[in-house]
Amino acid sequence: LARSAGCAAKTSQADLHKALAGLPVASDPRVLVGHDTSDDAAIVKLRDDLALVETVDIFPPIVDDAYDYGRIAATNALSDIYAMGGTPLNALSFVAWPVDTLGTVPLRQVLDGAAAICKEAGIAISGGHSIVDEEPKFGLFVTGTIDPRKVVSNAGARPGDALVLTKPIGTGVLTTAVKRNAAPESALAEAIKSMTTLNRDAAEAMNAAGATAATDITGFGLLGHLGNMLRAASKEVGMPIGAKLSYAAVPVFDRVTGFLKDGLCPGGTRRNLEYAAPHARFADSLSEPQRLLLADAQTSGGLLIAVPQDKLAGLVADLKKRGTLAQAVIGSVISADKPGLIEVDS
């Protein structure tokens, strides 16, 4: 029933920028982080030592199992709070559901899955809203708290910072392979484990290390979210900031490259690469499937953390101690010819 799976259903960056062009930037001084830097969540200051972190994430199913769908959707929504360095406080649910087609039993399973993840995160789903729709959609509005002096935005990266990724990529390709009957459901086991793993431990390590910036990798892919981070940093300091990535250092789920070679690629991933390619310089040795992988539309991906070099070893060691799914040093932030430029070697 889903035309696009999970975060691959996101509006493309190109279309989103057209829609948002000219939209007024919040003038309320309490809004510390708004939509103008394409960050993961909004930050609203309540007092000098307390601010709210607010986000919303909704998407159609990415797996057939209703309980897992709810777990993945909740984990994905909570990730925005963690990416800002915040602590979740409360959630509200949103559901669009084809009751005549699916009935209410799988809907209850979706809600149960989401509730289980929220319980793991230490919060409750205290309310919500529902509508009838031909395509199932589910997600959460999440509120968190943070000390406004300790916000980890996507605009703080500086040249010389290392870039660390805390989960493998490739969920978009894997779920597409299963959706098109090119792989069994069992091929999704590791991806489901990843998509239902909270980024809480990664965020705690990030906060302890004194990270300069972070974002979570979701529907715009690694290149898209890194590009947003770099452009936000460029705007912050008034000079062009880019990044250098090593393709070989990026953690990837098994079988993903093979599926890409077979043409099993989400439409959202192709749109992502089309948008990112003009802002990237790929090594000639990188094939089209490899370039697509870097733009693969992720659902509930890991954190991409920028950290000063003198704090890198401590961060990686802490991530390993906490058992995050990856602790990959995939590149570094550099001065660039233009804002958001990403150089990718093999």
Helix, strand, coil fractions of the chain, as percent rounded to 5: 40, 25, 35
118 is catalytic: no
Residue 77: half-sphere exposure toward Cβ, Cα within 13 Å: 33
Task: Name, in order, each residue with C-beta under 8 angstroms of 300's C-beta and a sequence gap of 6 or more.
Answer: 6, 7, 72, 75, 76, 79, 171, 194, 195, 196, 218
Q: Is 75 left (phi over 0), alpha (psi -120 to 50) or beta?
A: alpha
The answer to whether residues 55 and 88 touch, using CB atoms and an 8 Å cutoff, is: no
The answer to whether residues 78 and 84 touch, using CB atoms and an 8 Å cutoff, is: no
In the structure encoding, which two tokens stand for residue 319, read together? Answer: 């991530």
Neighbours of 237 (CB within 10 A): 13
Choose the catalytic residue: 2, 5, 6, 7.
Answer: 7
Give, as one character, the DSSP assignment of residue 252: B
Looking only at the bridges linking them, the beta strands covering 137-146 and 50-59 are antiparallel
Looking only at the bridges linking them, the beta strands covering 162-165 and 303-307 are antiparallel
In the structure encoding, which two tokens stand for residue 288, read together? Answer: 């089209």
Task: Name, in order, each residue with C-beta under 8 angstroms of 343's C-beta and a sequence gap of 6 or more.
Answer: 242, 243, 244, 245, 280, 281, 334
Q: How far apart are CA 327 and CA 317, in angstroms?
A: 8
Give, as one character, the DSSP assignment of residue 255: T
In the structure encoding, which two tokens stand for residue 10, read together? Answer: 């996101």
Looking only at the bridges linking them, the beta strands covering 87-97 and 125-132 are parallel
User: Any idea which residues carry the catalytic annotation?
Assistant: 7
